[in-house]
Amino acid sequence: MTKVLPDDSLQRGIDTLKSQIDAKVVSYLSSCVHCGVCADACLFYTETGDPRYTPIYKTEPMRKVLRQEYSFWGKLGYKLGFLQPMRESDLKDWEELVYDGCTMCSRCSMVCPIGIDIAYVIRKVKEGLAAAGYSPDDLKSAATRAVEIGSPMGVTLTTLQATIRAQEKEAGVSIPMDVEGADYLCLFSSGEIVGFPEFIGSISRVFKQADLTWTISSDYFEATNTGIQIGSTPIAHQLIERVVAAAEKLGVKTVIMPECGHAYSTMRWDAPNILGRKLPFNVVHILELLENLHTQGRIQFKGGTDARLTYHDPCNISRRGGVVDQPRSLLGSIAPNFVEMKEHGAMNWCCGGGGGVSANSRADALRRKVFAVKKRQLDALGVDTLVTACSNCRNMLEDGLEDNEMEIELIGLTELVAEFLVEDQDTLRAN
Ligand code: SF4
Ligand code: SF4
């Protein structure tokens, strides 16, 4: 689709990139020694061999603006015509590199010997591109739906209520809505509501067993934040404020983030910085909570699965979120044949669809190509079940397994935990 952009889009992009420059950006970009180590950490480079996908190259628009606007030699070079200033075509080229060829997984940031947080700079590049209008149409539509309807997929309260009714029937529990003074407020991603509604039934059974006071808010239930994915702080800010308003209205102490990677890292780590104030509640990922409830003895398991299974760490939950031990502790109780992928935990390989890539249909072919790294990991283990804890990863893995005709069952960890939950009181007493 041809983009119709206002004439000042280039200047707006440059101005926004300038506004994103902070001490970290300057020190990162001025200390890169171009060693190339980060390239081998990025699945878009390893699986395509295309040097344009090297992580540091994706930061080039920021480097260009820094040189063009703030460096003496840069300014002179542009004046004398030795250097090319930023052009619309640069924004167009990097739009595709950054939105289609980066999942914001941060694996590159882990390996840089200088300690450069490359993903941090790429996130800021996105901010400039989005301000100039250079972001994928699919993401723009998702952001519009998120702002106008409250869900990037257009999921309404009516849809959620219908899903809740179906899950209440299926799980045999009642699911609380708008309970003032509950301890916990649980959010869901639209992807979960639509694609994996059994997650809602599973947590309801677990929370009933643990005797948790929890609720869903009819004012705002969406966990995802399209503002973060597209690179728009104003949109991210607006969506975070909705969570805060819903939590404050109900007076909850803790907000539970569901099986959605970026939703967790956004609320847990980005939200206070974006709002410029402390959140008036704690933020916990569902796996942290489940592990905690199990450790406290508030939930118990009986039996387990014989399957030879492995766990795919969602980048935003493990690498960027720090929730690495909890899933392993839970699996340790119910999956004796659990095996690790060679690269796991903080160094796991991404599913290929994070950072908004999954919502960007233009990137489909590239995303399916880079799944090759996950296929190699799984082939090396010969597992029959794959567990994860992010609905977006789950969709991406589902596509990859299907494309490659891999006979591996895929399941969310929360559902797996609920499968072995002891709900029967006699068994509980006996344990
Ligand atoms: S690993 Fe670090 S220093 Fe080396 S090229 Fe990448 S960003 Fe630059
Ligand atoms: S954040 Fe991940 S996908 Fe993006 S450049 Fe770094 S390694 Fe590649």
How large is the average pLDDT for residues 404-421? 97
The domain of 409 spans 309-419
pLDDT at 1: 40
| 423 pLDDT tier (thresholds 50, 70, 90) | confident
Low-confidence winner among 33-37, 382-386, 422-426 (lowest mean pLDDT): 422-426
Within this chain, do residues 378 and 409 fall inside the same structural domain, yes or no?
Answer: yes
C-alpha closest to that of 230 among 353, 361, 350, 127? 127
Whether residue 353 is found in the same domain as residue 398: yes
In this structure, are 248 and 318 located in the same domain? Answer: no
Give the pLDDT confidence of 216-246 residue by residue, as tens digits: 999 999 999 999 999 999 999 999 999 999 9
Spatial separation of the C-alpha atoms in residues 150 and 222, rounded to whole Å: 7
Res 78: pLDDT: 85
Residue 273, pLDDT > 90, answer yes
pLDDT (0 to 100) of residue 397: 97
For position 75, what pLDDT does the model report? 87
| Residue after which a domain boundary falls, among 242, 268, 295 | 295
Q: Which of 235, 264, 295 is the last residue of a domain?
A: 295
For residue 257, what is the enclosing H or E element? strand 254-257
Question: Which CATH number belongs to the domain containing residue 377 in this structure?
Answer: 3.40.50
In a domain, 426, yes or no: no
User: What is the rounded CA–CA span in Å between residue 399 and residue 363?
Assistant: 14
The verdict on the CB of residue 29 being under 6 Å from ligand 1 is no
Mean pLDDT of 329-339: 98
For residue 226, the CA-to-ligand 1 centroid distance in Å is 29
38 lies in some domain: yes
Q: Higher model confidence: residue 82 or residue 210?
A: 210
- pLDDT for res 81: 85
Q: Report the share of the chain in percent with pLDDT over 70.
A: 97
340 and 290 in a common domain = no
Q: What's the 176 CA to ligand 2 centre distance in angstroms?
A: 39
Strands 254-257 and 184-186: parallel
pLDDT tens-digit readout, 250-262: 999 999 999 988 8
Q: Are 330 and 413 in contact (CB under 8 A)?
A: yes
pTM metric for this prediction:
0.93
Q: How confident is the model at residue 163 (pLDDT cuts 50, 70, 90)?
A: very high
- 126 C-alpha to center of ligand 1: Å? 19
| Cβ–ligand 1 contact at 278 (below 6 Å) | no
Residue 317 included in any domain: yes
Tell me: pLDDT of 3 over 60: no
34-42 long-range contacts, CB within 8 A, separation 24+: 35/113, 37/111, 37/112, 37/113, 38/108, 38/109, 38/111, 38/112, 38/116, 38/118, 40/111, 41/107, 41/108, 41/110, 41/111, 42/102, 42/107, 42/108
Region 416-429: mean pLDDT is 79
Ligand nearest to the CA of 111: 1
Question: Which atom of ligand 2 lies at the shortest distance from residue 119's CA?
Answer: 1
Please give the structure tokens belonging to residue 264: 């967790």
In a domain, 2, yes or no: no
Q: What gap in Å lies between CA 55 and CA 57, rounded to an integer? A: 5
- The least confident of 18-32, 46-60, 76-90, 308-322 is 76-90
pLDDT over threshold 70, residue 5:
no
Indicate the residue among 295, 326, 348 that finishes a domain: 295
Q: In this structure, what CATH number is given to the domain that contains residue 277?
A: 3.40.50.1860
Query: Do 334 and 388 share a domain, yes or no?
Result: yes
What CA–CA distance (Å, rounded) separates 292 from 296? 6
pLDDT greater than 60 at residue 95: yes
Same domain, 92 and 30: yes
How high is the mean pLDDT of the chain? Answer: 94
Q: Stretch 13-28: mean pLDDT, rounded? A: 93
Q: Whose CA is nearest to atom 2 of ligand 1?
A: 112
> How confident is the model over 21-36, as a mean pLDDT?
94
| Residue 79 predicted with pLDDT over 90 | no
User: Has residue 237 been placed in a domain?
Assistant: yes
Residue 308 is predicted with a pLDDT of 97
- Domain count for the chain: 3
Residue 62's closest CA among 121, 132, 147, 118? 121
Residue 167 domain-assigned (yes or no): yes
- 341-354, pLDDT tens digit by residue? 999 999 999 999 99
Q: Are 297 and 333 in contact (CB under 8 A)?
A: no
Residue 1 lies in a domain: no
Please provide the size of the chain in residues: 431
Residue 38 pLDDT class (50, 70, 90 cuts): very high
The ligand 1 atom nearest the CA atom of 54:
6
Give the pLDDT band (50/70/90) at residue 430. low
CA–centroid distance, 81 to ligand 1, in Å, is 28
Q: Mark whether 124 and 157 lie in a shared domain.
A: no
Ligand nearest to the CA of 33: 1
Q: Is the pLDDT of residue 4 over 60?
A: no
Q: What is the mean pLDDT of residues 9-22?
A: 91
| Tokens of residue 307, six digits | 């399957």
Statement: residue 364 has pLDDT above 60? yes
Q: Is residue 142 part of a domain?
A: no
Task: Please check the confidence at residue 6 and state whether its pLDDT lies above 70.
Answer: no
Stretch (H or E) spanning 309: strand 309-311
